Homo-oligomer: A and B are copies of this chain.
Amino acid sequence: MTLPDRPAIGFIGLGVMGHAMAGHILDAGYRLLVFNRSRGKADDLVERGAEWADTAGLVAAESDVVITMVGYPADVDEVYFGAHGVIAAAKAGAYLVDMTTSSPILARRMAAAASEAGLHALDAPVSGGDVGARNATLTIMVGGEPEDFDAMLPVLKVLGTNVVLQGPAGSGQHTKMANQIAIAGTMIGVVEALAYAQAAALDPETVLASVSVGSAASWTLTNLAPRILAGDFEPGFYVKHFIKDMTIAIDAAHAMGLELPGLELAENLYERVRDLGYADSGAQALWKAYE
């Protein structure tokens, strides 16, 4: 199936990420329909020409492509399968693209339900954070059928620069999990290195001059260690969302018979950080587990 000349794109979920992404869809000249749990976040998009719809289903009923960027797997489930949900309401042949970081199992269930209803589903979670969303430089990891990926590529290219088909339904979510697992270990290493440096009465900034290049180098060390040293725990990426991701990854790993002790340790440490009151801080707040 090919899209009409000026496809209508529905965007559901206008948080920090979704809001910036929906804006790019609008700027690219698509017709844009939007829905969000709290309507206020849509106001400026509506001023710029987006059309508000009162439920996810009403967005879907008018859209050739439905993009979702919500919070938790339970929200994804609700948006697609709940009352006024997307699957029941979508137009025949529509494309459904879930960009939430969510469960690979749910992604496969969505894809199966979509296929049964004559719809096309992709799971397409992203990395790159609020900056990547704002600058349309996201990495987008896609699971689904190659022909559906090809059909959606022009739309996804509006949002990101590194758009890769990883395999069948669920593979986008699995790839995002691999990404989060790598970050979890790296974050432990960086925070423990700083905790050690502090305990040894070293000057941490001078330590970074020695360790930020070479084989200890990482995005985390370069970008988050200086924030920790500056006492800046503002969220780029929320602790509560990282815990969600790690929980999904641990469950998925267990379902595959895989033990990942580093990931489980990271998840435990982040639960401690959350319990200390830092759920809405940035992931660099892992530091609080060591202070």
Contact = CB atoms under 8 A, between A and B. Distances in A.
Interface in A142-169: 162, 164, 166-167
B215 A193 contact: no
A79 B224 CA distance: 40
A1 interface: no
Contacts of A265: 261-262, 265
A55 interface: no
A216 B256 contact: no
B203 A141 contact: no
A28 interface: no
A237 to B, nearest CB: 7
A139 B206 CA distance: 13
Given A182-B218, A216-B179, A174 B197 contact: yes
A209 B175 CA distance: 10
A229 interface: no
A139 B207 CA distance: 11
Nearest to A197: B178
B174 A215 contact: no
Contact of A261 (B210, B211, B260, B269): B269
A26 interface: no
Given A257-B199, A258-B199, A193 B178 contact: yes
A82 interface: no
Interface string A163-202: 0101100110011011111111111111011111101111
A57 interface: no
A166 B207 contact: yes
A174 B203 contact: no
A217 interface: yes
Contacts of A167: 201-203, 206
A223 to B, nearest CB: 8
A96 interface: no
Contacts of A266: 262
Given A179-B211, A182-B192, A182-B211, 7 more contacts: A127-B216, A166-B203, A181-B189, A182-B221, A186-B218, A189-B189, A196-B249
Closest 4 CB pairs of A and B: A185-B189, A218-B218, A188-B262, A182-B193
25 contacts: A127-B214, A139-B214, A166-B206, A167-B202, A174-B200, A175-B202, A175-B210, A178-B194, A178-B196, A179-B193, A181-B189, A181-B196, A182-B211, A185-B188, A185-B192, A188-B188, A196-B258, A200-B252, A215-B223, A217-B218, A217-B219, A218-B219, A218-B220, A262-B262, A262-B266
